[in-house]
A and B are shown apart, each in its own frame.
Chain A
Amino acid sequence: MGDKSTPLLAVLQLLRNYNLKGTEEILRKEASLGDVEYENLNLPEVEIASILTAHHTESDPYSYEFAYDSLKKFVENSLDIYKHELSTLLYPVFVHMYLLLILYEHPEHAKSFLEKFSIEQEDYYQEDLKKLSTVKHKDQIKGNELAQIYSTNKFIVQMSRDASSQLKRYLHEQKNSTVIINIINNHVQIDIHDGPGRSLAQVRATAGGLLGEAPRTENRAKVYYGLLKEPDIQVLPAPIEDEEEVEETPDKPKKKKAKKENIFMKKPKSDPNAPPNDRIPLPELKETDKLEKGKALREASKRVQLGPDSLPSICFYTLLNSGYSAISADICDDSSLLAVGFSNSNIKVWTLTPVRLRGMKSAEKLQDIDREAGDVLVRMMEEKDRDTCRTLFGHSGPVYKVGFDPFKTLLLSCSEDATVRLWSLQCWTCLVVYRGHVWPVWDVRWSPHGHYFASTGHDRTARLWATDHHQPLRVFAGHLSDVDCVQFHPNSNYIATGSSDRTVRMWDCSTGIQVRLMTGHKTSVYTIVFSVCGRWLATGAAGGEVVVWDISTGLPTASLPPSHSASIHALAFSRDGTILSSGKLFYLFIYTLYCTYRKSYCY
């Protein structure tokens, strides 16, 4: 019954939209439509448009094949400088033709159309086509995630001005078939740039997003990718010097001091790209945290520069008897603690050093402690209660991510049960349950300065939280599919997210707007990491490829091709920023940065 009434309903709604009541009345009478249907008039805008404009071709499913063929021929016969850019148009046209065929209930034609032309589409779209091919009925379009995305969003195609005028001329010639013109008008946004057409490699580098490439305007905003001026530089030397003077023999301090100053000098005094320190309010450092930072800084001075000539040593921790249950792990900054999240909802924390894990004393006993004593932190811990492994219970689903805070006192975890939990590593209990995500939470990360953390999940949002608020401070919406990973910028002002829609986005924490949209991944982005200097962003995807992005421009600077099809689940920069390592199932690769050449260390 839907066949005839759908266009009529569309016309009716159009008339109502334009407030032409008389005509509407007459049409209703003439079509003898029931009241029920009339009342339920609520077709989406886009659908009305496509129904109305394509009405006359609706009866002829064969025209689609001809139209697509002719567009293909046009692309193939165009000049080489336009060809590659124009060819990006083929996929959206193809997809929408398929959806139209389904919409007008020609499932057989849709199927043959899909079979005939799907092989010609880019290999990174095949996965989507497979998902789309499950849609075989008009009703299924509404419920299907992917079809919804395609019909409610515009596919973005970048092309040069010349290429677009070529396209316009071609479209003008197509008098007899308006199918393509309609699709391009309704579902494709052509982003015109000045300058020559791009080469195949250039086009391929940024193609692959669920909705095509990122429009140029998206990445215009300025991003302060510089590092924060370390507030502790002024504060820190004091405790360090105290300590070192105690430790050191009096004949050597000068030399050491000079060296130490050197480290501090390295930090740029005024980085033009750095955000102001008060752009994001950061928590005051506690005395103990300062000690930790000082320790880390001193450690840093002893670092050996890594590179192809001096490769790192790697310690490999193996979880025995875990079966398939261990699904996430984190090692704290000084490599003394290991946390593992399990699919049976547990979290286990191991100590990797001889120092045992101790619990805090009970409240009554804490009363008795002299709070002014210098070793109050030691005294408040239970003497007898020490262990090499602690288990944290609380989640009710697989724990997809665990993370230590920068000061080793807190642990964050996120789970399938849609919650994020904050745990204390002193009481070994859950402190806060953050509810906000509706569906499973895939990733959670601490800000490098603590206090803030970001989480992402199946609900296609990323959220920014502070540990002292039970509601998110910001909700970053925009991804078209699951947001699989998140990472804080080293200066805590931005977060970057990677998603199953094959895009990487960067968001400003203070304003909540999207500042970068980066396309070029061909598969879901599973892991994301900022370089130590803050300028580069490395992402790893399900297909095994690693892309390094320049945050200042939002363009890919290096793409490391997959050497195995296994997906990448972990990426890490060395602390001096010269080595990037990627972890996938059974393999570990180490790349040296700043040269595209890969040292193939496959462990």
Chain B
Amino acid sequence: MGESDLAYGSSFSIDSMKVIAESVGIGSLGDDAAKELADDITYRLKVILQDSMKFMHHSKRQKLTITDIDHALKIKNIEAQYGFIQPDSLPFRFASGGGRELHFIEDKEIDLSEILSAPPPKIPLGVSVRAHWLSVDGVQPTVPENPPPLSKEAQKQESVDPMTKLSKSANEDATGKPMCGKAARLKASESVHVKQLATHELSVEQQLYYKEITETCVGSDENRRAEALQSLACDPGLHEMLPRMCTFISEGVKVNVVQNNLALLIYLMRMVKALLDNQSLYLEKYLHEMIPAVSTCIVSRQLCLRPEMDNHWALRDFAARLMAQICKTFNTSTNNLQTRVTRLFAKALQCPSQTNNDTGVGPSMANMKEPEKTPLASLYGAVQGLSELGPEVIKVFILPRVRWLGERIEGALTGVGGADRLAAGNLKQQLLKVLAPVLRQLRQPPDQPEDYKRDYGYLGPSLQQMVGKLRVSPAGGGGGGAVAVVTCTPPLVPVTPPPLVTTPIHVGVAKTVGSYTRPGPSPKIRVSVATVGDGGAAAATCAPPLVSVTPPPLVTASLHIPKTIESVTTRNVVISASPAPQSPVPATPPPQKFVIVASQQKPTQAQSAGGSGHIVVHGSQPAIVRSQNVQSVVVTSGPAPGTGPAQKVVVVGVAPQTSSSQHHNQLSQAPVSVVAKPVFARAAMGPSAPQPTQPPPELDDLSHLA
């Protein structure tokens, strides 16, 4: 019976009957009996299925469920089948053996005691009603609940081939935007004219929205800004006001660069980020405004009023990442975006004389076309911008300029002027960070300091050390090294707030080389780990972050270090300071790549604001520390103290007890991002654990800066 026709369904095979009979203990079922059974069962099953279809239809579903079949059995006066659960899909397993083939559903044995001991499952959310306008006078308003009036594909199509819009105007109805009679008549009369590509009328609601959003984005209320950015990043139907948004950003950057208003520049870049993240927008048509604005924020000579104090480096880093994102998303063979952007940055790295000769550098470079040298800040931006574009770019454009850059750095470090010295330090760290991984690939060991000195000038020895460390680290994380402290700051990107914990505790991460975005599971956590000093560099000091933010409890678990990082990192140690479990969480034994250190309960210590509430833990295993009311935690892992060089991790966490409660409200809104700072580094550690003595002098908290 297996070979039944396609049009009228299939039926059970005799073999199936035999297998089923065997499963209930009937060993020898005759062929005739099996055939009779197969026919009968096929018929009965089909009738039941036809009835259950009725229940499916009346439940307004398009998917038949087990309850439908139960109801169909019930109206046939057959007892329903109990105990069948209904997962989303029922994968048939296949097994063969002894010349027989068998398809079956895997039915796992369930241990009841496990279920009983397990914590009760979460209560499902209650049903609730929500209303929105589907249509106002026949026109669909652009609210998040409605589908976007113009899909991203359509926008893309339009920007690639503007003629489609013209040809489509004949049958406007097809785009899903209905026209009322008046508009249709109007259209018929002007159908001769070439229709403009962009809609230039904004409805009153859209105008209000635009006003509200732009004001909030550059306003002073951080919570509302987070909401506004969230709206920009998620709402569909913004494409009609996109030209205005882009102009707003572009003009805003122009004005605020002149006025050196760092805060506003940061806000504008966050707007760019939000627009880039919006799934329903296609920005290609507006890149001519976006790219100059973003690149200005990367390489501009001065972005803030007090270059020696303010942290404009974070803005440059952030803008550079944006630029990389733009390049990645919109680069095509026709617009050669990445090539052009790369050329832009590369020119900043040219010798001043060459720069002078060039004229068409681009608007953002205008302020560099002075006879004197390119400022160090711009060099930093250019290096950062190039390094975000990938190792190849670094190899081709930065590496040949290392010697020259080294001279500049040397000059600045030895010269006078705090700002210059700071800039040079940053630039140096940046260069080391981006170059070391490339050099590691490029050069064969052994790394001789003399060779490096010869090839790369001033930076040679430092580079050699970095590369040396890189070579060692992936193998086993040996050798002490630089340590970075990560402070959590409100992010550049608004994210869903993590579940609150009672005591905010801070967090450190150890040293990584490179900066990356870390894709966490549910809360997006942006982690950027800044430069790391080379061995023996002076320890920096940390200040308690003014805005303390609770790290999400999942920080440790959520660490997926991107592959690109693996080659870069020497050792990543991540510490979460969530005051979560009573018992030490057995840190999932990680590969050598990183050590997870959670926190451990410690007796509460009386604290003074700047006191020394450090916990020092030594152990050969990754230590788990929970800290409460602790200002900082220092963890070293590695051999016991005194027996050998220990691997050190320094965590500086600050939880000002007084401020914790008042931050809670704020925290529920303020999401987390983590910016790393170099604190100090030592190549080899003595038995005594490092004590972070002072708070760091500056913060990476962008919102604070703003």
A600, B130: Cβ atoms closer than 8 Å: no
Which of A310, A439, A588 has a CB less than 8 Å from the CB of B134? A588
A595 on the interface (CB 8 Å rule)? no
Which of A135, A312, A320, A352 contacts B43, CB < 8 Å? A135
Known: A319-B128, A439-B75. A136 touches B61 (CB 8 A): no
- Using a CB-CB cutoff of 8 Å, which residues 484-502 of chain A contact chain B? 484, 500
- Tell me if B182 and A309 are in contact (CB < 8 A): yes
Question: Within 8 Å CB of A350, what residues of B?
Answer: 129
A602 to B149, CA, bound (A): 12
How many interface contacts (CB-CB < 8 Å) are there between A and B? 148
Q: Distance (Å) between the CB of B430 and the closest chain A CB? A: 48
A111 to B132 alpha-carbon distance, docked (Å): 55
- If A324-B61, A440-B75 touch, whether A603 touches B127 (CB-CB below 8 Å) is no
Which of B51-59, B270-278, B643-651 lies at the interface with chain A?
B51-59
Q: Quick check: is B126 within 8 A (CB to CB) of the other chain?
A: yes
Residues of A within 8 A of B129 (CB): 317-320, 338, 350, 352, 389
Q: Give the complex CA separation of A114 and B55 in angstroms.
A: 29
Instruction: Give the contacting residue for B47; candidates A134, A314, A318, A325; CB below 8 A.
Output: A134
A352 to B131, CA, bound (A): 9
A603 touches B57 (CB 8 A): no
* Minimal beta-carbon separation of A246 from chain B (angstroms): 33
Q: Which residues of chain B come closer than 8 Å to A419, judged between CB atoms?
A: none
B7 & A318 in contact (Cβ 8 Å cutoff): no
CB distance from A368 to the nearest CB of B (A): 36
On chain B, which size bracket covers the interface? 35 or more
Structural contact, B130 and A317, CB atoms closer than 8 A: yes
Report the minimal beta-carbon distance from A592 to chain B, rounded to whole angstroms.
Answer: 11
Total interface residues in chain A, CB < 8 Å: 68
Q: Which of A129, A321, A324, A600 contacts B59 (CB 8 A)?
A: A324
- B8 interface neighbour in A133, A308, A312, A526, Cβ under 8 Å: A133
- Which residue of A324, A440, A588 contacts B65 across the interface (Cβ within 8 Å)? A324
Does A316 interact with chain B (Cβ within 8 Å)?
Answer: yes
Q: Does B421 contact A (CB under 8 A)?
A: no
Residue contact B54 to A327, C-beta cutoff 8 Å: no
Q: How far is the CB of A13 from chain B (nearest CB, A)?
A: 28
B176 at the interface (CB under 8 A from A): yes
B23 at the interface (CB under 8 A from A): no
Closest chain-A Cβ to B46's Cβ sits at a distance in Å of 4
1/0 contact string of B1-31 vs chain A (CB within 8 Å): 0000101110000000000000000000000
**Interface-facing stretch out of B109-117, B135-143, B408-416, B463-471:** B135-143
Q: How far is the CA of A343 from the CA of B75 in the complex (A)?
A: 17
Note all chain A residues with C-beta closer than 8 A to B46. 134
Report if A134-B42 is in contact (Cβ < 8 Å); known contacts: A311-B135, A600-B173. yes
- Given known contacts A316-B133, A318-B145, A322-B127, A136 and B43 CB-to-CB distance under 8 angstroms: yes
A542 at interface by CB-CB < 8 Å: yes
The answer to whether B131 touches A318, judged by C-beta atoms less than 8 angstroms apart, is: yes
Whether A524 contacts B178 in the complex (CB less than 8 A), given A114-B8, A319-B129, A321-B125, comes out as: no
CB of B62 within 8 A of chain A?
yes
Q: Are B60 and A569 in contact (CB under 8 A)?
A: yes
Other-chain residue from A439, A526, A601 in contact with B138 (beta carbon distance below 8 A): A601
Q: How far is the CA of A111 from the CA of B6 in the complex (A)?
A: 12
B214 interface hit (Cβ, 8 Å): no
Inter-chain CA distance A115–B65, complex, in Å, is 31
**Do residues A314 and B75 form an inter-chain contact, with CB atoms below 8 A?**
no
**In the assembled complex, A202 has its CB within 8 A of some CB on chain B:** no
With known contacts A133-B9, A327-B58, A439-B75, A318–B132 Cβ distance under 8 A: yes
Tell me which residues from 26 to 74 in chain B have a Cβ below 8 Å from any Cβ of chain A: 39, 42-43, 46-47, 50, 54-55, 57-63, 65, 67, 71
Q: Which residues of A contact B60 (CB under 8 A)?
A: 327-328, 569, 585
CA distance A309 to B131 in the complex (A): 25
Residues in A with CB closer than 8 Å to B139 are: 311
What's the dominant secondary structure at chain B's contact region? mixed
What separation, in Å, do the CA atoms of A580 and B146 have in the docked complex? 22
B180 at the interface (CB under 8 A from A): yes
CB pair B135 A484 closer than 8 Å: no
Point out the residue from A315, A397, A442 that lies within 8 Å of B133, measured CB to CB: A315
> In the assembled complex, which residues on chain B have CB atoms less than 8 Å from the CB atom of A458?
54, 75
Question: Are B58 and A314 in contact, CB atoms less than 8 angstroms apart?
Answer: no
Closest Cβ–Cβ distance, residue A437 to chain B (whole Å): 11
B124 proximal to A (CB < 8 A): yes
Bound complex: CA A319 to CA B7 (Å):
39
Of B8, B71, B127, B176, which one neighbours A440 at CB under 8 angstroms?
B71
For the complex formed, measure the closest distance between the CB of B687 and the CB atoms of chain A, giving whole angstroms: 57
Q: Which residues of A contact B125 (CB under 8 A)?
A: 320-321
CB-CB under 8 A from A140, the residues of chain B are 43
> With contacts A322-B127, A324-B65 known, is A603 near B135, CB below 8 A?
yes
Residue B97 at the chain A interface, CB threshold 8 Å: no
Interface residue? A482 (CB, 8 A): yes
B492-510 at interface with A (beta carbon < 8 Å): none
Chain B residue at minimal CB-CB distance from A322? B127
Cβ-defined contact, B58 with A442, below 8 A: yes
- Chain A residue numbers with a CB within 8 Å of B99 are none
Chain B residues, Cβ within 8 Å of A588? 134
Q: Are the CB atoms of B47 and A144 closer together than 8 Å? A: yes
Contacts of B124 in A (CB 8 A): 321
Complex interface residues of chain A between 580 and 603 (CB less than 8 A to chain B): 585, 588, 599-603
Q: Are A316 and B132 in contact (CB under 8 A)?
A: yes
Q: Is the CB of B137 within 8 A of A311?
A: yes
Q: Does A219 contact B (CB under 8 A)?
A: no
Which residues of the other chain, B, contact A256 by a CB distance below 8 angstroms? none
- Residue contact A313 to B136, C-beta cutoff 8 Å: yes
Question: Which residues in B have their C-beta under 8 angstroms from that of A451?
Answer: none
* Of the residues A316, A400, A440, A603, contact of B131 by C-beta under 8 Å: A316
Which residues of the other chain, B, contact A310 by a CB distance below 8 angstroms? Answer: 137-138, 180
Contact status B127-A348, CB under 8 Å = yes
Indicate whether B181 reaches chain A with its CB closer than 8 angstroms: yes
Give the chain A neighbours of B8 by CB distance below 8 A.
114-115, 118, 129-130, 133
Q: List A residues 88-127 near B (Cβ within 8 Å).
A: 111, 114-115, 118-119
Q: Quick check: is A461 within 8 A (CB to CB) of the other chain?
A: no
A567 within 8 A of B: yes
| A131 part of interface (Cβ distance < 8 Å) | yes
A340 to B128: give the CA distance in the assembly, Å.
11
- Which residue of chain A has the shortest Cβ distance to B62 in the bound complex? A585
What residues of chain B lie closer than 8 Å to A312, measured between beta carbons? 135, 137-138
In angstroms, Cα B140 to Cα A209, docked, is 39
A213 within 8 Å of B by Cβ? no
| Residue numbers in A under 8 Å from B180 (CB-CB) | 308-311
Contacts of A439 in B (CB 8 A): 75
Cα distance A588–B136 in the bound complex, in angstroms: 14
Inter-chain contact B127/A321, CB cutoff 8 Å: yes
A133-177 contact mask (Cβ, 8 Å, vs B): 1 or 0: 111110010001100000000000000000000000000000000
A398 sits at the interface (CB 8 A)? yes
B190 smallest CB distance to A (angstroms)? 19
With A348-B127, A400-B58 known as contacts, the answer to whether A308 contacts B181 (CB < 8 A) is yes
* Separation of A144 and B44 alpha carbons in the complex (Å): 10
For B63, the chain A residues whose CB sits under 8 A away are 324
Pairs across A and B, CB under 8 Å, 14 listed: A115-B7, A119-B7, A130-B8, A310-B138, A312-B138, A316-B131, A318-B132, A321-B128, A324-B59, A324-B65, A389-B128, A482-B54, A500-B54, A600-B173
A308-B181, A314-B133, A400-B58 given. 11 additional CB < 8 A pairs? A133-B9, A310-B138, A315-B134, A316-B132, A316-B133, A316-B134, A320-B128, A327-B60, A350-B129, A389-B129, A602-B176
> Which A residues have a C-beta under 8 Å from some C-beta of B?
111, 114-115, 118-119, 129-131, 133-137, 140, 144-145, 308-322, 324-328, 338, 340, 342-343, 348, 350, 352, 389, 397-398, 400, 416, 439-440, 442, 458, 482, 484, 500, 524, 526, 542, 566-567, 569, 585, 588, 599-603
Top-9 shortest CB links A-B? A311-B138, A316-B134, A133-B8, A314-B135, A314-B134, A309-B181, A321-B125, A134-B46, A327-B59
